[in-house]
């Protein structure tokens, strides 16, 4: 399995090739989209991208965890966590990629 990571630069290069904007405009567009998405998530909104998936923020309550090495109980503070739920189309596409 490949270890390639898709970066912001890769996304802006794809926008440059596919849309025809300049490289600077493409980079600004990608940055603007990512900023808009992250701002919405910080505000507690869901970000749904059709045929891709839904990003959302979940509130996790305080709980007692356990150090696996020592078995000692450790309090875990309440926190907000980001979750991603892929669409069924994305799940199918990824699964089909495993067949090759």
Q: What percent of the chain has pLDDT over 90?
A: 90
CB atoms inside a 10 Å sphere around CB 34: 12
Give the chain's mean pLDDT.
93
- pLDDT one-digit tens code per residue, 1-34: 568 899 999 999 999 999 989 999 999 999 999 9
Torsion (CA) 85, 89, 91, 95 in degrees, nearest 10: -170
pLDDT at 36 over 80: yes
Confidence of residue 42 (pLDDT cuts 50, 70, 90): very high
Which residue stretches of the chain are H helix? 8-19, 23-42, 88-99
Confidence of residue 51 (pLDDT cuts 50, 70, 90): very high
Query: Mean per-residue pLDDT for 80-87?
Result: 96
């Amino acid at each position: 399995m490949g270890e390639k990571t898709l970066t912001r630069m890769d996304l802006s290069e794809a926008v440059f090739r596919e849309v025809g904007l300049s490289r600077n405009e493409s980079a600004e567009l990608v940055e603007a989209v990512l900023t808009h998405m992250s701002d919405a998530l910080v505000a507690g909104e869901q970000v749904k991208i059709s045929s891709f998936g839904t990003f959302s923020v979940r509130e996790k309550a305080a709980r007692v965890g356990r150090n696996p090495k020592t078995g000692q109980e450790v309090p875990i503070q309440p926190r907000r966590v980001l979750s991603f739920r892929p669409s069924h189309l994305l799940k199918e596409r990824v699964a089909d990629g495993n067949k090759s």
